[in-house]
Structures are given as structure tokens and as C-alpha cells.
A and B are shown apart, each in its own frame.
Chain A
Amino acid sequence: MSSDFYTTQILPYAAIIIKICRAYTNTQEDFEDYYQEVCLQIWRSKDNFKEQSAWSTWIYRLSLNVCLTFLKKKKNNSQNNTSDLLPDEVLVDSSVFSDESLNQLYTAIKQLSEIDRGVILLYLEEKSYQEIADIMGTNTNNIGVRITRIKERLRKILN
């Protein structure tokens, strides 16, 4: 990946990638792996970007897809090598951010299903229901109902 492409096309949107990767990883090592994989996939797929959506929306979509795929691969690997893995709770690094409330929110988000994590991240990033539905490949009604349910669940976990 050329450093020019990274500096101009990815780095300005790194916040999006970081926020998403944090929600799907429990350790700094995993987070860096996911972040690098997302960057690599963005670079590899750059020619597929058709400008039908904003570049940032496209990065959201790609980041989520990469994280979901990576997580799936990891699950498959862990099923094959169960003895190599520690339980999730042992691996969780819950003090990533200096803001304690944010750490708690992330810990709560990680308790959601993989798809719900994506939905709530997009909601918190102030994406419209339509955009969320487009990115997640569903309809706006479904998104609305899901968000209400997820927020309720998060409130319960946080309290």
C-alpha cells in the first residue's frame, strides 16, 4: 500500500476504522491486526469504489465486513484449536480509552451480537436509518426496531 494512499485516503478516516475495530476485538494485538487488515482491504478494493456513496460510508461498510469476516475466521480457528485459547474474559482489555464511561460502553457493546454491534456503532456515528440499512443490507423499519431494542439492552448492561 503506498504511503500516499494511506495518508490521503485512509488516515483522515482512521477514526471510523478504529471505532469499529475496537468493538470487535478484545486485545491490542487483535485490534492492530484488524486495523491493518481493514486498511489493506480498503487499498485492495479501492478500484471497486463507485462513488454511489460517500467514501466514508464505503469505509464503514468495508470495515464492518472485514471485522465480521475476521471474527468468523477466528471463531472457526478457535473451534479447531480450542486448547490454544484462553476464555474471552481473560483476554478482554477493557481500559483502552482514557474515558472510563467510554470503556464501559465498549464493554457493553461487545456483549451484543456481531450484527447489533455494527448497527449501534453506525447509529452512534449519527448515520441515518437509511444509511445504516444500506450498509447492513436490510430495511429502515428493521433498523429502527433493532436500535430501540439495542439501546434498551445497553442501558440494562450499563446500569
Chain B
Amino acid sequence: MEKSIETIWKEGFIKNDALVAPKLNDLYNQKSIDIVEKFKRMYKINRIAIVAFAILIIPISYITKTIYLGIPMALLFITVTIIAQKFSKQLDAIDKNTSSYEYLSSFDKWVKDMITVNSKLSTFMYPYIFIAMALGFWFIDIDEDILGNMLINGITSEFPTTYLVNGFPILLIIPFLIMIGVLAFFGGKIGKWDINLVYGGILRKLEELLSDMEELRK
């Protein structure tokens, strides 16, 4: 007579060798390597994307007649790439022949250094992007005149009593400077938010893993 599935189950597990628990080893080690490798892949893709933008932005800006925006943006992307490349070398140099905890701690330190530098850079970067965009739009050619001149003419005809500084209406200069100030003030925060947007998930996992490991070491 055929055995029922219940009997197969019971009889099958009577033998002790059927239920040998695997040894818990290398769990954190593997997880540490995984998390760093995943980050490295993402970081590489990000760098490639920045290089691609740096290359493409010049012809695109030439075609769209915003070359004054394209050149400073290309320079910015190249600078960011150089800095990221330096960080990438430091990341590769992290010693893997240490314990998982030390390896992850080194990686964590690298991440924090990278975020600090990125935040400082963002303080200048976002106002710089704003200035580049303003320049780009200022020199857009419309009906044999540039957009900037049309803007000045518009403001001076609307507010004829407005004060001029080197030919630029104060009503234009003040909001421009305020915007630069705001971007410089919040640049660091925007930079952190930007990193969090791209790497947030993996950085939270890193934090979790490190806190588990720290608990283990107590």
C-alpha cells in the first residue's frame, strides 16, 4: 500500500541526519562584502553617468544655443568626476583582510568623509549651477537680441525709476543675489538629500548592519 504524505513526512524525519543545522559562519562577512560591492557598482554607474553628461552637454548646449550654460556645466561635471575618482581609489584601497566589523567601519568612515566633502562642495556647486543657468538663459538669442537685454529693457520700462548698478537693474540683482545666498546656505543640505536619494537604501542597511555588529561586540 502506498504511504500517505503524512507518513512519508513523519518517517523521513525520524532519522536525525535529516535535520542537521548548518553552521552559522561568515554571515556578516558575506553581508559586508555584498553591501560594499553593491555600493561600488552604484558609485561606478553614477560616475559614468556624470562623465556622459560632461561629454554630451557641450554639443547639446551648442545645438540649443545655450553654450554659456553648457561650458560651465561641463567643467563642473569634470571636476565632480575627478573628485569622485579620487574617492573611488580610496574605496578600492579599503583593506579586505580584516574582520567584517573593521571592514565595514572603514567603509562607513569612507562614506562619512565622502558625504562631508560632497556637502562642502554642494555649498558652492548649487550657486554655481544657478549662475551657469542664468548665464545660459541670459545669452539666448531671440530675434537678433539676447534674452538678458530684453529682460533689462522690460524691467526698466516697467519700473523706470529703478536704480541701476553697472547697467543692471537693482530689481534684478537683488533676487539674483538672494537666490545665490539661499542656495549657498542650503547647498550642503541639498547635497546630503541628493546622496540620500541615490544611496539612502544601502546606507541605511550599512547602519543597521554596523549596529548589529556593535551589539555583538558588547
List A residues at the B interface (Cβ < 8 Å): 1-2, 6, 11, 14-15, 17-19, 31-32, 35-36, 39-40, 44, 97-99, 101-102, 104-105, 120, 124, 151, 154-155, 158-159
* Pair A124/B216 contact, Cβ less than 8 Å: no
Say yes or no: A99 contacts B212, CB within 8 Å. Answer: no
Question: A99-B15, A105-B8, A158-B5 given as contacts; is B21 within 8 A of A35 (CB)?
Answer: yes
Residues 2-27 of B contacting A (Cβ, < 8 Å) = 2-3, 5-6, 8-9, 11-13, 15, 17-22, 24, 27
- On chain A, the residues within 8 Å of B19 by CB distance are 14-15, 18-19
Interface centre among B6, B9, B11 (most CB of A within 10 A): B9
Q: Which residues of chain B from 103 to 128 have any CB-CB distance to chain A below 8 Å in the complex?
A: none
Residues of B within 8 A of A1 (CB): 24, 216
Q: Which 5 A-B pairs give the minimum distances between C-beta atoms?
A: A102-B12, A14-B21, A99-B12, A124-B9, A32-B22
Given contacts A98-B15, A99-B15, contact A35 B9 (CB under 8 A): no
Measured CB to CB, the residues of B under 8 A from A are 2-3, 5-6, 8-9, 11-13, 15, 17-22, 24, 27, 212, 216
- Shortest CB distance A27–B (Å): 12
Q: Taking each of A36, A44, A97, A98, which has the highest tally of chain B beta carbons within 10 Å of its own beta carbon?
A: A36
CB distance from A149 to the nearest CB of B (A): 13
Q: Is the CB of B11 within 8 A of A99?
A: yes
Known: A36-B27, A39-B24. A97 touches B18 (CB 8 A): yes
Cβ–Cβ < 8 Å partners of A18 in chain B: 19-21
Cα of A137 to Cα of B93 in the assembled complex, Å: 49
Cα–Cα, bound, A2→B9 (Å): 32
Nearest chain A CB to B27 CB, angstrom units: 5
A98-B18, A101-B3 given; name 8 further pairs at CB < 8 Å.
A1-B216, A2-B216, A15-B13, A15-B19, A17-B21, A35-B22, A36-B22, A124-B5
By secondary structure, the A interface counts as helix
Q: Which residue in chain A gives the minimum CB-CB distance to B21? A: A14
- Closest CB-CB distance, B209 to chain A, in whole Å? 10
Residue of chain B at shortest CB distance from A37: B27
A2 to B217, CA, bound (A): 9
Would A36 and B24 count as touching, CB distance under 8 A? yes
Q: In the bound complex, what is the Cα–Cα distance between A47 and B202 (angstroms)?
A: 24
Chain A residue, CB-CB nearest to B18:
A97
Which residues on the A side are within 8 Å of B22 (C-beta)? 31-32, 35-36
- Given A1-B216, A15-B19: A102 and B24 interface contact (C-beta under 8 Å): no
In the bound complex, what is the Cα–Cα distance between A14 and B82 (angstroms)? Answer: 51
- 8 Å CB contact of B27 from A2, A40, A99: A40
Q: Which of B3, B5, B11 contacts A154 (CB 8 A)?
A: B5
How far is B28's CA from A1's CA once the two chains are assembled, in angstroms?
A: 10
In angstroms, Cα B31 to Cα A39, docked, is: 14
How far apart sit A102 and B2, CA to CA, in the bound complex (Å)? 13
